[in-house]
Every structure is written in structure tokens, then in C-alpha cells.
A and B are shown apart, each in its own frame.
Chain A
Amino acid sequence: METAEQIRDRLLARFPGAEISVVTNPGAAAQHSLLLGHAHARAIAEFLRDDAPLKLDQCSNVTGIDWPEKKIVETTKVTVPDPAGGPAKVVEQKSERVQPGYLEVVYHLYSIAFRHGPVILRLRTGNRTDQVTVPSLTPVWRACEFQEREVFDLYGVKFEGHPDLRRILMWDTFKDHPMRKDYVEPDDYEWEPTPHGAVLEKAKAHYPTPPAAAIAPAAAPTPATGGAKS
């Protein structure tokens, strides 16, 4: 099978002006992927499905990844001449930049006809708040239907052109997207029978009196009450 670079070059020849770049995978698996711009994504997907040497007729896996914004500290070495005339000093300068966050959708494509793969496509959203739309590939591969719904449900990526974009695993009135890295789980531990650790800290706020386990050993032994466990 062609490498990701060869596929990119062929796609660029076929779709001049399309945004396609190769995302290298530094790991041992070396499964490199193609990052596509939104404008040509669906046309490229259709091309890859029908293309004679590739014929990627199966979209095996669709998934989301959340990349929250990240502070990157870069250290650069600058040579500062000594005003007193001595030898120049090498000073480390630290600069911070914020890498904007985005959501990513990853598609793993295989060919059943030619038994090769995977070719990996990636689509990225503009940010994690208001520009979360990417083109849906469900019209190209039906296999994306439920998996894109799952990405919409758990990550909040909106797929433009999906025939039935609803929540699939969480209930319809659920508000948040639980797979995002900054998701805060609801504080509803008051019925936890034996809270401990971090849950106990949360649960304390809900108990009218602290549960037995949270009380420090009392000086005088309390009379045993029926059914109460200590």
C-alpha cells in the first residue's frame, strides 16, 4: 500500500488547493495519518473510497480526541554581550505561548477489496467552544452513522450532513460532553453507602451529620445503636 506521503501527493494532484498534511506518529506503530481541511474532506473521502489502487471501502473505526489548550514553555538561548566588555553571556529566555485547544475526529479506513490499511484521516475543529462543526462522512461510509453520533454525544463535535445527529449513549436532556478532558462529574454522591477518599470529601457537604466513618475516634465510646455500622 502507498505511504501517507504518497497518498497526500496524489490527493493534492487531484484536489489542487485542498488542505492536506501528514501527521506523523512517533510511536512504534508508525501509523501515520492525513489531516484534512473541512472544505474538501467529503470529496476526498469519496475519492479514497472509489479510487482504483486504494479502494478504502470500509471505515472501521471513528473516534474523537479532546486536546484542551495547552501552555507551552519554550526556552531559547540568547547571547547577551557584556556591557563591561567581558565575554558574552549565554542567557536562557523563557517564552510562554498558548497552543489553542481543539477537538479531533479520527477515521480508520481499510480496504476489504484489497485487504490493506489502515489509512487514517483526521478532522479538527476550530476550537472547543463555538467552532465545533466538521463535515460528516456518514454519506460516504454508513459505518460512521452511530460512531459519529457517539462522538457528538461524548465530545460535542457537530457533524454537518449527518442524517440523524442525536445523543446515543447519554440521554437526550443531558447537558455536557463526558469524554472531554475538562468534564466535571456531577456532585451527587450523597447516597454512596461507604464514601471514602475524594468521594468522602464531596459527600460531606451532603450529609446532615458526618457519616460514622468520617468522625474521628471519640473519647467516650458511644452506645451501639441497632443497624448502625461504624
Chain B
Amino acid sequence: MSISDLSPLGAQGGSHVRAVHDEFHGDLLEVSMGPHHPSTHGVFRMIVTLDGETIVKLKPVFGYLHRNHEKLGENTSYLGSMPYTDRLDYLCSMTNNWAYAIAVEKLAGQPVPERAEYVRVILAEITRLLNHTCLAGFLMQDLGCSGTPLMYAFREREKILDLFESLSGSRMMCNYQRFGGCRVDPSADWLEGAKQLTDGYGQFLDEFEALLTGNEIIMARTQGTGVLSPELAVAAGVTGPMLRATGVNYDLRKTDAYGVYPRFDFRVPLGAHGDVYDRYMVRVLEMRESIKILQQALAGIPAGPIMDPKAKLRGFRPKAGEAYGRIEGPKGEIGFYLVSDGSPNPYRYRVRAPSFINLTILEDMCLGQTVADAVIILGSVDIVLGEVDR
């Protein structure tokens, strides 16, 4: 097998830039951005056709990180897949765990004790803070603010990772949720640490926003860039902050009311234009709402068991059937579809990866924009390639 066979473009794959002579369009230039391009957030590739500096065609190429995660899930037990869900997304392992746990709990009809539901909400909202802070930092890096905002973001990320480490033993690959509860009970000290983080986060956001939100250069660069219409967003299955930035009020924490979310008072921030700036702004506002949820959850967390005493972990064999469970992850709707045939392994294990499906409309958002805009549009989609390629 030659190298050109391995390339998604076949024989054309070797060159990074190639002239296209086309009777319709005159002279176009085809640029292969990625897979090893810092702005693609991993090994992602876009084949961009340019007319001058304007994008006239953009084809994403996937699969550089493909390891057939779903086949691995079919070959291991239900519990064995839990640590693999961490590896989908290095920022959101807690929400990935939760989404998988919810799908399995639906499949097996497994109840969850109240304290565990509170802990799950606390961890999911901390994960949302983590993800959105890092995303804002990465987006600024893509915009050309080299270093400074990202360093502020990573300073906060360290605090959150320390919290995760002290609770689960691991900073990024937490493997924390179980079917019917959580693995360990957070101590009073840990909850106090989470409370301190929550109380200090608003101040960090003020500082972060003072630097960025009203910044003229950022506004000039991002407003009106990569506009997505609400109709297209809904038809293309876009979810999460991407969808809400277009003004569609759809948040699974409100619509599905899973866990104990109905007990908390929070609002769903919406954008108005669906451009890169709105996507940034919706995430910043979501972080402020997450702080509110965290304060309520940390104040109201009840005592009690963290695992359902009847929950079965070893030798877990749900009855034949199927279930689709989903939650509002920081990147959008993360769902797991499981088919059971009564054996210890799932017959079918499917991950509905939000960042993969949110990329469906990447070309639509980039047409007519420049290459530099494509970089920030991709940055505002919020992708993690481990999840896109699975």
C-alpha cells in the first residue's frame, strides 16, 4: 500500500496547496489545512478551495484519531466502557461519564440516590466552567491574542483539575460515575473546596470579560463572522451553545429535566445573531448561570448514600432491550444509545458525539469568509477530536 492510498484525497493528498483550473471558476487554489495545524485543535483537516482569499468550498476530513470506540464498547462489559468515555473528551470526562451512566440506568431501570444526583450536577457544572473557560481561551488564541487569555483560562483550569484529582484520583480521566450513583463520596472538605472555587469564579469571569468581551478588535473580528441561521441549526442537529447562540431556546437541562435540575433556578442565555461573538458570549453567560446552579447545589446537597445499595456493578447484565440517554454536555447533546441482548456486554454501544454533529454545517458557516475566519469559526464550534473521530 502506498502513501497516496492512505490519504483521503487519494493521489492528490500529498500536496498541501494545489492550483485548480476550472472552466467555471477560473483559477482557484486548494489548500489542505491540517491535520497537523495548530488551529485545528488536534488532527482535523479541512480541504479549503479559495477564490483569492474567499472560501468557495470546504470539505472536512475526519478519522485521523479513529480507533472504533464503539467496537471497543461492544467488546467490553458495561462498566468496562466507563473509563473509555473519559477518553472521548479530555475536558468533559465527568459529563461523558454521566451521559453513559444515564443511558445504562435507563436501560436497566436503575434509580439513583439524591445525594449522587446533587454530586453529579455539581461535577457537571464544574465541567461546564472548565470547558467554556478553556474554549474561550483557545478561541482567543485562534484569534491571535497569543497566550495571555489562554494562560488566565488555564490558571482556572488547574484549580478545577486539582478538585477533580482530589475527588476521583485523576485530573482528566476521572472515571467517576457509576450505574446507580458515584464511585466515592465527596468529603466535607472537598465540598468546601468546590464552594471556594464557585465563589471565586465570578471574580475571575469579571477579570476575563474586562479583558475580552468589550474589546474592539475582538468585536470587529468576530461579529458577523460565521453566521448560522436558527433554521439551519435545527435542521442540522446542532446542539448546545452553538444552537442557543442562534436564538433557539433549547437546553436539555430544562427540556428533559434530568437529574435534579428542575430544583435549581437558572436561566438559559440566548444569542441573537448566531455569529462567533454570540457563541463566545453565550458561553460566558452560561458560566455565570453555572455558578448560580453550583451555589444552590452546594448549599442544598443532602446527606445520604452515594450509591444505590441495590445497584450491581460486577456481573451487571441488563435485560434485553434498548435505551437512548442524553444530557446537556458543555459541547452540546451528548447521548449514548445502547442495545442489550441480555449478555454482560452491550450488543450495540453508540456515542452521539456533539462536536462531530456540530461540524455538519462547518462548510455553510465558512463559505464567503476568509481562511483566517475559518480558523475562528472552527474554534467557536468547540471540537475535541477524540470525540469527533471516536
Contacts and interface: CB of A to CB of B under 8 A. Distances in A.
A146 B360 contact: yes
Given A27-B320, A28-B323, A143-B360, A179 B70 contact: yes
Nearest to B237: A143
A146 B357 CA distance: 7
Interface stretch (A8-16, A125-133, A168-176): A168-176
A178 interface: yes
A142 B319 contact: no
Given A28-B323, A143-B237, A143-B357, A169 B108 contact: no
A169 B107 contact: no
Interface stretch (A60-68, A197-205, A211-219): A60-68
A156 B340 CA distance: 22
Tell me the interface secondary structure of chain A in the complex.
Answer: loop
Interface stretch (B5-13, B145-153, B271-279, B300-308): B5-13
Interface in B168-222: none
Nearest to A28: B109
Contact of A168 (B63, B237, B348): B63
Interface stretch (B113-121, B331-339, B366-374): B331-339
A134 interface: no
Contacts of B47: none
Interface in A161-205: 168-173, 178-179
B51 to A, nearest CB: 21
Given A118-B324, A147-B357, A169-B62, A142 B350 contact: no
Interface string A89-118: 000000000000000001010001001001
A59 interface: yes
A194 B1 CA distance: 25
A169 B66 contact: yes
B268 interface: no
A136 interface: no
Given A28-B107, A143-B360, A178-B68, A59 B237 contact: yes
Contacts of B71: 178-179
Interface residues of B, number: 50
B335 A65 contact: no
Contacts of A120: 324
- Interface size on A, as a range, is 35 or more
Contacts of B326: 60
A26 interface: yes
Contact of A108 (B1, B324, B389, B390): B324
A57 B337 contact: no
A141 B320 CA distance: 30
A21 interface: no
B337 A106 contact: yes
A58 B318 contact: no
Contacts of B19: none
Contacts of A28: 106-109, 318-319, 321, 323
Interface of B: 1, 5-8, 10, 62-63, 66, 68, 70-71, 106-109, 232, 234-239, 248, 250, 255, 318-324, 326, 333, 335, 337, 339-340, 347-348, 350, 352, 356-357, 359-361, 389-390
20 contacts: A27-B108, A27-B320, A28-B109, A29-B109, A29-B322, A31-B323, A31-B324, A57-B235, A58-B237, A60-B352, A63-B350, A141-B237, A143-B236, A143-B238, A143-B357, A154-B68, A171-B7, A171-B63, A172-B10, A179-B71
